[in-house]
Amino acid sequence: MGIIRVTNIRAYAFHGCLEEESKIGSDYRVDVAVKANLQTSAKSDDLQDTVDYVHINRIVKEEMGIRSKLLEHAAKRILNRIFDEIAIANEATVEVSKLNPPIGGNVQMVTIEMTSSR
Collapsing DSSP states into helix, strand and coil, what is residue 104?
A: coil
> Mean pLDDT across the stretch 48-63?
97
Give the percent of the chain with pLDDT over 70: 100
Whether the per-residue pLDDT at 71 is higher than 90: the answer is yes
Whether the per-residue pLDDT at 23 is higher than 90: the answer is no
Report the candidate in 87, 79, 81 with the shortest Cα–Cα distance to residue 49: 87
Answer whether 44's CB lies under 8 Å from 82's CB. Answer: no
d(CA 81, CA 8): 19
d(CA 83, CA 25): 28
**pLDDT at residue 101, as a whole number:** 85
Answer whether 27's CB lies under 8 Å from 15's CB. Answer: no
Residue 106 β-bridge partners: none
What letter represents residue 24's amino acid?
A: I
